[in-house]
Chain A
Amino acid sequence: MTQSVVVQVGQCGNQVGCRFWDLALREHAHVNKRGLYDEALSSFFRNVDLRKSDGGDCCVGGRIQHLKARAVLIDMEEGVVNGILQGPLREVFDSTQLLTDVSGSGNNWAVGHLTYGSAYREAIVNKLRKAAEHCDCLQCFFLIHSMGGGTGSGLGTRVLSLLEEEFPDVCRIVTAMYPSAEDDVITSPYNSVLAMRELTEHADCVLPVENQSLVDIVNKISVMSHGAKPGSALRKDSTVTSGQGSLSPTEKPFDAMNNIVANLLLNITSSARFEGSLNMDLNEIAMNLVPFPRLHYLVPSLTPLYTLADVNIPTRRLDQMFSDAFSKDHQLIRADPKRSLYLACALMVRGNVQVSDLRRNIERLRPSLPFVSWNQEGWKTGLCSVPPVGHSHSLLALANNTCVKPTFMELRDRFTKLYRKKAHLHHYLDVDGMEQSIFSESLSSLSALIDEYHQLDATKARLIPDAQRLSIAR
């Protein structure tokens, strides 16, 4: 069984991370009835016996003493991390896992990446190494940060390249929160494009998430729960909708949105943690969904978003779940994958779903989804028998689809609008180590990426004949 370490950077990263740990604990509490520290728990948590003088880890199989998250929390201002340490999750982290500073990054990628990146390089590497040492078999680093700010995007991407240097064999999966057009941080386009280059070069997989999509999804859920028909009350304990254990007693505005992202992480790792008839490990995700090294942006979509309290799930609802996963309302970035080209798609199913249900739905949906010519049947499937809390089954779809191109193009447009006028540029150039060339290089990296997607898109309408086979002398 493998372990994963979560590295949460910046305000957004830490808030999402906090929701993730809460949900992970709840999911395991739901499944693990006997209080034993099993393999599934050990993938994200250490079991520590505080009475031992060296604070040593206990092995798998014993009773749960004290769970510590396999996490590193980094923020350049103290508010969020302090909030976590005072909240219900304080027992799950200890001070050696935290790295904070006081003054923040001022929404400046250069400050985060260069100034703090150099100043804290040693400390960060030490903390990462410590976390890795506690793992028997470290498989993956999950990095969570936003793209628009200074710490998350700047220091977060610095951490990413440190991870590549120090742990080249460990998979790096980044969950990056992209700003919407109406973002209140003016320099978010700069920060995002500068960070994009790092993600393209150093990450194995990126799961882009857009705030606006999360807002839309949350609104849909609240419409469902308030305007519901009588007799169709929503289940309250679902991990997607309920926000218990948040940082403050009242639910903060971003909590519901962060919940969704936290569920995404939970579902991706479900097959690695629990058993099923067709397992899908984390290294298989990168292997199957990344056909070319730079095209590793995977559009996530999660269904169902809520469950009705009605326990009987007819097949129709199961099929509806599959259809929903491909509708544009359920994608976590604003994109319509059905209109663009699929390079590859992974379906991770949890709960009591059999391979015949899976096959039936793939056959049903396949004709309406445009796949690239050399990957006409490009599906990666996984079946995990343990459903998430509050649902009888769920589906996570990860698509490598050219529909990310419009998102990136918009980002590039917003960047160019500012860059042409050299607006706010001096804040960046004043930082030690920052040069104008970094801006232009990041821009061309983004343009090159958009071009690669564009090339593939161009093949969409064309009917590509089969490649000429080798001929054998008879």
Chain B
Amino acid sequence: MSVVTVQLGQCGNQVGQELFDVISSDAQDGQRKTYSSVSRERFFRQTSQGDFEARAVLVDMEPKVINHSMNRAAKSGRWRYAEASHFSQKQGSGNNWANGFRVLGPRHRDAVEELVRREVEHCDVLAGFIPMMSVAGGTGSGVGTFVTQCLRDVYPSSFVLNHLTWPYGTGEVIVQNYNSVLTLAHLYQLSDALLVHENDAVHRICSQQLNLKQISFGDLNRVIAHQLAGVLQPALTPDSCGAYSGNPLGELVSALACHPEYKLLSACSIPQMASASIAFSTFSWPALLKHLRQMLIANTKMEEGIDWQVRPPPASAGRTSSLTAGGFNASLANLLILRGKDVYSAETGGFEDPAIYTSWLPPAEALSLWKSPVPFDKYEKSATLVSNSQALLRPLDDMVRKAWNMFASRAYIHQYVKFGISEEDFLDSFTSLEQVISSYAQLQC
């Protein structure tokens, strides 16, 4: 079953290219035949000359990034983007969500839908769509939201999993909070689930975990691509009866996004180290899983500096006034994906502990376990955890708070009104997100 990726805006196109790169090199490294062929079928199609072309549609409102990504892909020698799979214009969206959603999206709807249709036709069986975008800018966020809406309209029974990159809290774009609020509020209605990476968290991984001195966006994107590939590469699921699952997106969504109010997913993976260090390290499942569980509970994305003091609150504790009780991150549902040597003997009981889950879903339902005996991306053993938890609650709350403060003074609103987004639209989006924040805050056990 094949997945069609739609890369939107600068971020979407840069991260997407890194993702395909990781996937293609992972499937290559002398892996078991079935794994490679499932992975290849899922993400690439083979031309008559035997080249692998990504099942991807690249969309941007200006051409520089798409050209750059296509060149980099071709240089890898292992895969490339198809010649005719991209759409770009001459002039960007100007960081303006309204411009992307109300003007540019509709204007280029037909062209983009045509590209998607062609890509879908190349798939024997369509597993679903992964639009990849950032929420801070204009194209990824505005045009991306519009394209997601189109995908929903044209393919109502397909799964749509949006991959979102949230910007640094201290700002890459001044109106990023407005763009983020508008995007998230709309996507919540359109998408099956939103898998989020935050630049701040990924930056910390690069600096403290990987010890990189000078961190570039390429480094951030590679970490994101590694984690995302860890989720999307083939795995054996409870439903797949001994073969690699043919419905990865569907199973992910049904495992994690079981309630329409709860769609925010975050990922973390272990181990994460500079590739030079991998050869010198040994891993054991008990150690990896113990660290991963604490990373989940303490809401940290890396092994370095885990706070072991954070514990699930005792059952008798009442509701606290803070968003999360004592730094503890309550989960609604978790998907644990184990890859590599000795997966079948890995003991995952720690993740079935009812104390880490909210009370209205029994742990047997809340935890899903996928396994693959094939080592992933040079790690002999690795685990990826996708969780629907309070992990994104604080960043979301900060985002809404800052956007609301700015909205209170009506700053920059004239730029959005110019393109057809009114104050009412803003208020609707704020209301939707306050609802999401409230729902997640109530997840305490």
Contacts and interface: CB of A to CB of B under 8 A. Distances in A.
Given A278-B172, A355-B215, A379-B170, A467 B62 contact: no
B94 to A, nearest CB: 3
Interface of B: 10, 14, 62-65, 68, 89-92, 94-96, 138, 168-175, 203, 206-207, 212-218, 220, 400-402, 404-409, 411-412, 414-415, 430-431, 434-435, 438, 442
Contact of A381 (B171, B220, B407): B171
A-B residue pairs, 10 tightest by C-beta: A283-B94, A137-B90, A356-B215, A291-B411, A467-B408, A379-B171, A277-B217, A288-B174, A377-B171, A354-B216
A281 B94 contact: yes
A467 B411 CA distance: 14
A143 to B, nearest CB: 20
Contacts of A2: 62, 90-91
Nearest to A295: B411
Given A137-B90, A287-B95, A344-B174, A466 B405 contact: yes
Contacts of A375: 174, 406, 411
B57 to A, nearest CB: 20
Nearest to B410: A292
Interface in A275-295: 275, 277-279, 281, 283-284, 286-293
Given A346-B174, A354-B214, A472-B431, 17 more contacts: A39-B63, A277-B218, A279-B10, A279-B92, A281-B62, A283-B94, A284-B94, A289-B174, A291-B411, A292-B414, A344-B174, A354-B216, A356-B214, A375-B174, A377-B169, A380-B171, A466-B401
Nearest to B215: A356
A289 B412 CA distance: 9
B404 A469 contact: yes
Contact of A287 (B65, B91, B207, B415): B415
A355 B217 contact: yes
A90 interface: no
B170 A362 contact: yes
Interface of A: 1-2, 39, 136-137, 139, 275, 277-279, 281, 283-284, 286-293, 343-344, 346, 354-357, 359, 362-363, 366, 373-381, 383, 466-467, 469-472, 474
Contacts of B401: 466, 469
Contacts, number: 142
A347 B224 CA distance: 26
A52 to B, nearest CB: 24
Given A281-B62, A380-B174, A355 B216 contact: yes
Nearest to B93: A283
Contacts of A289: 174
B91 A472 contact: no
A49 to B, nearest CB: 23
Nearest to B406: A374
B90 A1 contact: yes
A457 to B, nearest CB: 14
A379 B90 contact: no
A174 to B, nearest CB: 18
Contact of B411 (A39, A292, A346, A380): A292
B405 A374 contact: yes
Contacts of B412: 287, 290-291
Nearest to B218: A277
A139 B62 CA distance: 12
A79 to B, nearest CB: 38
Nearest to B400: A469
A344 B411 CA distance: 11
28 contacts: A2-B90, A2-B91, A39-B63, A136-B90, A137-B90, A277-B14, A277-B217, A278-B10, A281-B92, A287-B95, A289-B174, A290-B412, A292-B414, A293-B414, A343-B411, A346-B174, A356-B215, A357-B214, A359-B170, A375-B174, A377-B402, A380-B174, A467-B405, A469-B404, A469-B434, A470-B430, A470-B431, A474-B438
A290 B95 CA distance: 13
A139 B404 CA distance: 31
A266 B10 CA distance: 23
Contact of A366 (B96, B168, B170, B411): B170
Contacts of B171: 362, 377-381
A267 B63 CA distance: 20
Nearest to B216: A354
Contacts of A277: 14, 216-218
A359 B168 contact: yes
Contact of A379 (B172, B212, B215, B216): B172
Contacts of B409: 374
B214 A374 contact: no
A378 B64 contact: no
A261 B434 CA distance: 47
Given A376-B402, A469-B404, A354 B94 contact: no
